[in-house]
């Protein structure tokens, strides 16, 4: 695998304690942080890609963002995710090497395990 290969991440934040507007604000804040990490691209997911049962606001899915990062920055994005959202329910889809890994975490401990799993997946182990 070349070091130039990018990793695509779809991150779904599902915090039951927040209403739709608060969740949207939290997602946009996290999106801004991710963009500061030198990623290839980062955006909210448009409603055209709506998974079954997802809510949308203003043409975008609530709590869902997608980013594409270089292999070098993949770990930085995951660490930011853990630091910022480690104690909140999260769904992560990692796409690399033509394969997808979809995992969920509901706690800091689970997220740490998920991050290790995602890193091994991307490394092809």
In this structure, which topology does domain 6-123 adopt according to CATH?
Answer: Alpha-Beta Plaits (3.30.70)
Question: What pLDDT does residue 58 have?
Answer: 67
pLDDT tops 70 at residue 55: no
Total-model pTM: 0.82
Note the pLDDT tens digit of each residue in 101-118. Answer: 999 998 888 988 988 999
Q: Identify which of 5, 1, 2 has the alpha carbon closest to the alpha carbon of residue 73.
A: 5
Q: Which residues pair with 21 in a beta bridge?
A: none
Note the pLDDT tens digit of each residue in 57-95. Answer: 667 778 899 999 998 888 888 888 888 877 788 899 999
Domain ranges of the chain: 6-123
Instruction: Kindly state the average pLDDT of the residues 20-24.
Output: 87
Question: What pLDDT does residue 32 have?
Answer: 92
């Amino acid at each position: 695998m070349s070091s130039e290969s990018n990793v695509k991440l779809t991150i779904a934040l599902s915090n039951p304690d927040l209403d739709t507007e608060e969740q949207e604000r939290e997602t946009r804040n996290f999106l801004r942080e991710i963009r500061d990490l030198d990623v290839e691209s980062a955006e909210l997911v448009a409603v055209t890609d709506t998974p079954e049962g997802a809510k949308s606001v203003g043409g975008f899915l609530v709590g869902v963002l997608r980013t594409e990062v270089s292999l070098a920055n993949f770990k930085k994005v995951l660490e930011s995710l853990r630091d910022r959202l480690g104690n909140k329910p999260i769904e992560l889809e990692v796409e690399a090497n033509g394969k997808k890994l979809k995992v969920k975490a509901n706690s800091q401990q689970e997220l740490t395990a998920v991050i290790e799993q995602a890193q091994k997946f991307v490394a092809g182990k």
